[in-house]
A = this chain, B = another copy of it.
Amino acid sequence: MKRENISDAVIRRLPRYYRYLCDLCDKGVNRISSQSLGTKMNVTASQIRQDFSCFGEFGQQGYGYNVEELKCEIGRILGLENPHHLILVGAGNLGRALLNNFSFDRAGFSADAAFDTNAQLFGSEINGIPVYSVDELDTYLQSHPVDVAVLSVPQAVAQSTADRLIRLGVRGFWNFTNVELTSREPDVIFENIHFANSLLTLCYRITHR
């Protein structure tokens, strides 16, 4: 086990490993080698062993990996064992789509509350999650732990909303605003879903064919 400085590339591969291992588990597969997992996932066996070895020794020579065990280990590494708390800020089309369709619990999160500026939504629920006024953010955050805020507010208020949440102690952001957020605090983490970057990349690829 090393665990010194895990590269971003490795971290971004973990969810995919986890998903494949869940699938194998569901199918009742007990055991897998880096070789056969690599074939399934279209990566080299070397990379799989190298990646796993960043976190420990999960296999057995001559046998391979126990699927159930490895799945749990990677789940633990990802931080899925006890749920983190999450709120959503900005319950427009996209925010509602996320609350209705996305399985936050399977990603280790409990979606506790949503906030918006539209008074018509106050007191309502979206998929069982209560919607409050953004004015109540301060009081809410004083009494509830929040690890991550989903930011799905308009671009114009993206940074100011983030600033406010950071001031209130939020340190993780799932950022859907298409704005590059920054923070003075060094321990704040932004995970960006940048739709435009993604579609422009696709545009490039279909253009240069």
Contacts and interface: CB of A to CB of B under 8 A. Distances in A.
A201 B187 CA distance: 16
A93 B84 contact: no
Give the contact-size bracket for chain A. 35 or more
Interface string A170-198: 01101000000000000101010111111
Interface stretch (A60-68, A105-113, A115-123): A105-113
A8 to B, nearest CB: 9
A196 to B, nearest CB: 6
Interface stretch (A11-19, A27-35, A129-137): A11-19
Contact of A196 (B100, B106, B187, B200): B106
Nearest to A197: B15
> Could you say which of A78, A106, A108, A201 has the most chain B C-beta atoms within 10 Å of its C-beta?
A201
Interface string A85-115: 0000000111011101111101111000000
A169 interface: no
Lowest 4 A-B CB distances belong to which pairs? A79-B207, A93-B97, A15-B200, A191-B202
